[in-house]
Chains A and B, each alone.
Chain A
Amino acid sequence: MGGVPGLYPAMTRRSASLHGWLLLFPAAVLLVAFTHWPTAATIYHSFFTTPKGARPARFIGVDQYQTMIEDPIFWQALWNNFFYALGTIPASIVLAILMALWVNQRLAGRGFLRLAYFTPTVLPMIAVANIWLFFYTPDYGLIDQITRKFGFGATNWLGERETVLGALMVMTVWKEAGFFMIFYLAALQQIPPNLAEAAALEGASRWYFFRRVIFPLLMPTTLFVLINAVINSFRLVDHVVAITKGGPDNASSLLLFYIYEVAFKFWDTGYGAALTVVLLALLASLALGQYFFLEKRVHYR
């Protein structure tokens, strides 16, 4: 009794349990109903066929997974998602650090800079997609208007297999970098000023100071941002739904978009469940990786 510091010590365990669970109850019901139950049900349903009309779901073992392994669109969506993460996350992080370093200095027009970097973050992805759609329009959009000045012809940025995923990546970096910037900005403001004084005394260059002092101190922030960025790269497919529909030829299909397509366009919920299991496995391994590997390395260097 009272063993854990900060908890109410004078209560019996029974009374504390009653109070605790009563307080937790409403939130717990909703959490179980919309997070834990669907997670378990997804796994369960992935071993069944999709019920159709009067025909109920039938157990088929790993058939859905067999189908998946032989499904080129699944692999394409998975690879696309991988390249999408690889293309957006490091770029967003580097830009976010640069932005934070700049905004943290007393450069001219600092308020304007912060506003410019952060504003895209407040927009819904769907609005971002609509604005950039206009940007990317062949011939008529701003990008083609500029490239034309340099003698290039019209490019259908969102209509070509080679450019579509890159076009989505640019849009995502534009939206996300400013969001990550504020976490770096907060971290920079926590760094004790005497470190800079010591470095100046030693005659260290700015680059050296950044590389050996600032960047290592930003590591926990980088980890936090990294985890969030990876989750976002799997979670946020609004722009795909809104402007490319995964096309052309599935070149811009991401995993969650493919799940959406399978479950809500083709109404194959059994296969949709199997695809969701892959996404859940990816997220779970991310959580475990964070817990067992990164946490320790970041804090106890």
Chain B
Amino acid sequence: MSGHARGMDLMEARGFDRVLETGAAWLLALMWFLPLIYALWTAFHPPEFAARFAPFAPLSLENFIKAWNAAPFARYFANTIALCAMILAVQLVLVTLAAYAFARFDFVGREFAFALVLVQLMIMPDVLIVENYQTLSKLGLIDTLLGIGLPYMASAFGIFLLRQTFKTVPRELDEAARVEGCGFMMLLWKVYVPLAKPVYIAFGLVSVSYHWNNFLWPLIVTNSVETRPLTVGLQVFALVDQGIDWALICAATLMTSGPLLVAFVLFQRQFVQSFIRAGIR
């Protein structure tokens, strides 16, 4: 191999250095996995083996069953799934329309409006909790799923991302369709949206993982089992329902992050590609 080393390979570590670096990389990876392994161990063994590493300790699913029955996790799951789906659905529509406007229409105040959109990249709804709570209570939306989602539905990040993509659509395609009598909405739907498919996937993954994991705002807005998403439900469970039964808490923690973790392991490449695509401006 090294006889034909070309390009970046030339600057890779060699010989003893390579052994050393591989070792360091693995050490760091093991350190990074350790907390997860610890949680997995505790969750899958009877409570008396929590924090005690006996190699032949019996495996058990009992902690998961107990945790599942101790709190309305089924409801929390349903809430989170409904919340993520609702936010994403509205986001996709709003963001597509706005991005199309910015990418193709020479409207009055375009640059100024775009600058105003970008403000949300710095000042996210997460930091405006005091005022947004007041707005929601005036609208009577406290303790509703719609209330949790509303501040996030017009995503500046999504508008920016899609505008960049729409701008790269060749004008010839656009014109050809219009010559055939295609209206703007039809054009958007038939030409722009299909061409931006990978960007939609990237945005979707980022959005779902953000809202699956979001905690502080839903914690403030919700106060009942009927609306609480998983993150808030997990916190209530860990705080109130249990003393310090680590095995149960670990099981509940893994259970709530489980779907996202499994999806990540299965679609690792798409996830990483999506985050990269979403991050590069």
Task: Decide whether A and B are members of one complex.
Answer: yes
C-alpha gap A19/B188 in the complex (Å): 13
Q: How many A-B residue pairs have CB under 8 A?
A: 307
- Which residues does chain B contribute within 8 Å of A95, judged by CB atoms? 28
Interface 9-residue window, one of B5-13, B55-63, B194-202: B5-13
Instruction: Given the known inter-chain contacts A23-B100, A127-B257, A273-B131, please indicate yes or no for A116 contacting B33, CB distance below 8 A.
Output: yes
Interface readout for B240-258 with A: 1 if CB under 8 Å, 0 if not?
Answer: 0000101001100110110
Contacts of A242 in B (CB 8 A): 215, 235, 238
1/0 per residue A1-40: CB within 8 Å of B? 1111011100101001111110110111111011111110
Complex interface: chain B residues within 8 A of A83 (CB)? none
Which residues, 1 to 41 on B, are CB-close (under 8 Å) to A? 6-13, 17-18, 21-22, 24-26, 28-30, 32-36, 38-39
C-alpha gap A122/B36 in the complex (Å): 12
Whether A260 lies near B220 (C-beta < 8 A) is: yes
Find residues 134-155 in chain B having any chain A CB closer than 8 Å to their own CB. 134-135, 150-151, 153-154
Please give, as numbers and ranges, the residues of chain A lying within 8 Å of B167 by CB-CB distance: 6
* Residue from B36, B51, B119 within 8 A of A141 (CB atoms): B51
Proximity string of chain B (149-168) to chain A, C-beta cutoff 8 Å, 1 when within and 0 when not: 01101101001000000010
A105 to B93, CA, bound (A): 41
Partner of B131, one of A13, A38, A116, A179: A38
Report how far A41 CA is from B134 CA in the complex, Å.
10
Instruction: Say yes or no: B105 contacts A16, CB within 8 Å.
Output: yes
Interface size of A by Cβ–Cβ distance < 8 Å?
109
**Contact, CB under 8 Å: A197 / B7:** yes
The answer to whether A77 has its CB under 8 Å from any CB of chain B is no
Find out whether the CB atom of A30 lies under 8 angstroms from the CB atom of B104. Answer: no
The answer to whether B107 and A19 touch across the interface, beta carbons within 8 angstroms, is: yes
Contact across chains for A135 and B35 when beta carbons are under 8 A apart: yes
Are A174 and B32 in touch, CB under 8 angstroms?
yes
- In the bound complex, CA of A191 to CA of B9 (Å): 12
* Chain B min CB distance to A288 (Å): 10
In the bound assembly, the distance between CA atoms of A192 and B173 in angstroms comes to 32
A38 and B22 in contact, given A23-B100, A120-B32, A125-B213 (Cβ under 8 angstroms): no
Q: A284 at interface (Cβ–Cβ under 8 A)?
A: yes
Of chain B, the residue at the smallest CB distance from A130 is B253
Q: Which of A124, A178, A224 contacts B256 (CB 8 A)?
A: A124
- Say if the beta carbon of A196 comes within 8 Å of chain B: yes
Determine the residue in chain A with the shortest Cβ distance to B264.
A122
Cross-chain contact B107 with A105 (CB below 8 angstroms): no
Assess whether A123 is interfacial by the CB under 8 Å rule: yes
Contacts of A60 in B (CB 8 A): none
Residues of B with C-beta under 8 A to A2: 106
Given contacts A7-B106, A42-B131, A284-B122, contact A20 B101 (CB under 8 A): yes
Which of the segments A63-71, A107-115, A147-155 contacts the partner chain?
A107-115
Q: Give bound CA distance, A294 to B4, whole Å.
A: 41
> Using a CB–CB distance below 8 Å, which chain B residues touch chain A?
6-13, 17-18, 21-22, 24-26, 28-30, 32-36, 38-39, 42, 51, 93-95, 97-98, 100-108, 110, 113, 116-117, 119-120, 122-135, 150-151, 153-154, 156, 159, 167, 171, 184, 209, 212-216, 219-220, 231, 234-235, 238, 244, 246, 249-250, 253-254, 256-257, 260-261, 264-265, 268, 271-272, 275-276, 279-281
Residue pairs across A and B with Cβ atoms less than 8 A apart, 30 shown, are A13-B107, A17-B105, A21-B107, A23-B97, A26-B94, A27-B95, A28-B113, A31-B117, A34-B125, A35-B128, A102-B21, A105-B13, A108-B22, A122-B257, A124-B257, A125-B215, A130-B249, A131-B38, A145-B51, A183-B276, A185-B272, A191-B8, A206-B11, A231-B124, A235-B126, A241-B219, A242-B235, A256-B127, A264-B133, A286-B122
Q: CB within 8 Å of B: which residues of A?
A: 1-4, 6-8, 11, 13, 16-21, 23-24, 26-31, 33-39, 41-42, 45, 95, 98-99, 102-109, 112-120, 122-127, 130-132, 134-135, 137, 140-142, 145, 174, 178-179, 182-183, 185-186, 191, 193-194, 196-197, 199-200, 206, 209, 224, 231, 234-238, 241-242, 256, 259-260, 263-264, 269, 272-273, 276, 279-280, 283-284, 286-287
